[in-house]
Amino acid sequence: MIVVAIIGILAALAVPRFQSFQAKAKQSEAKNNLSHIYTLQQSYHGDNDTYAVIMNTGLGVTMGPGACTTNPVGFTINPCVKSRYEYMSAADTVTFLATATSAANIIVSACGVVDTGTIDHTKDLMVTMDAIKTCP
């Protein structure tokens, strides 16, 4: 009985920690992809003297031939169907702002908060809506 009680206590302590680590790993996916978008945008700007607009890559994209690869900078998510975030960028000749937005309940389950991060042409990477800090 005592062993079962100890295992129950340990499990009660371990599950929330595991979920927290899992949420942080999911969030780091977006940070890595935003950094990758920054690099691709800088390369594109070097060749074309303008930044490129990226529309709806990742989560929420209607799957079809080429759906994962149709943007000017070559940013892809493979396989697209497993992306936890949707990536977009607004751009002009001198600036860009790329955004990663999750759906609700994706980063922290049973939490209605979306997780959003951004990066711009100065490589300022920010988490603008943090589901991990917002949800218990």
C-alpha 108/C-alpha 132 separation (Å) is 7
CA-closest candidate to residue 26, choices 90, 114, 95: 114
b/e map 45-59, b = 16+ CB within 10 Å: beeeeebbebeebbb
Is this structure's pTM higher than 0.85?
A: no
At 47 the pLDDT is 92
Query: Which pLDDT score, from 0 to 100, does residue 37 have?
Result: 93
